[in-house]
Amino acid sequence: METRVHIRRLIVCALTWVIAATSVYASNFDELVSGAAAARRDNKIPEAIELYRQALHLKADWAEGWWFVGTLSYSLYRHADCESAFTRFVQLDDKREVAWALLGLCEFETGHYQSARAHLHRGLAPGGKLAAELDAGARFHYGLLLTRAGLFDQGRRELTRFAGGASGEPVVLAGIGVNALRMPLLPNEIPADQQDLVEKAGKATSAWMLHPQALGAKIAATTVGDAGEAEKQFRDLENQFYDLLKSYPTAPGVHYLYGIYLSSSRPDQAQTEFRRELEVNPQNAAAQAMTVLAQLTHGDAPDALTNAKKAAAEEASDPLVEYAYGRALVAAGSLAEGIERLKAAEDLDPQVLNYHTALAGAYSKAGRYNEAREERQAALAMAEGLVAPN
Residue 154 falls inside a structural domain: no
Percent of the chain scoring above 90 in pLDDT: 78
Whether residues 334 and 215 share a domain: the answer is no
List the end-to-end C-alpha distance of the chain, in Å, as a whole number: 38
Whether residues 332 and 256 share a domain: the answer is no
Residue 139 has pLDDT above 90, yes or no: yes
Cα separation of 72 and 75, whole Å?
5
Residues of the domain holding 259: 167-185+194-264
- pLDDT for residue 384: 79
Structure-derived torsion over alpha carbons of residues 158, 164, 169, 173, reported in degrees to the nearest 10 = 60
10: confidence class by pLDDT, cuts 50, 70, 90: low
30: confidence class by pLDDT, cuts 50, 70, 90: very high
Residue 108 falls inside a structural domain: yes
- pLDDT for residue 368: 96
pLDDT in tens, 285-305: 999 999 999 999 999 999 999
Q: Rounded mean pLDDT of the chain?
A: 89
| Listed residue (274, 286, 203, 287) closest to 238, CA to CA | 203
Whether residues 74 and 5 share a domain: the answer is yes
237: confidence class by pLDDT, cuts 50, 70, 90: confident
Whether residues 289 and 242 share a domain: the answer is no
CATH number for the domain harbouring residue 101:
1.25.40.10
168: confidence class by pLDDT, cuts 50, 70, 90: confident
Whether residues 230 and 175 share a domain: the answer is yes
Q: What is the 3-state secondary structure (H, E, C) of 151-218?
A: CHHHHHHHHHHHHHHHHHCHHHHHHHHHHHCCCCCCHHHCCHHHHHHHHHHHHHHHHHHHCCCHHHHH
Q: What's the number of domains the chain is made of?
A: 3
- pLDDT for residue 22: 38
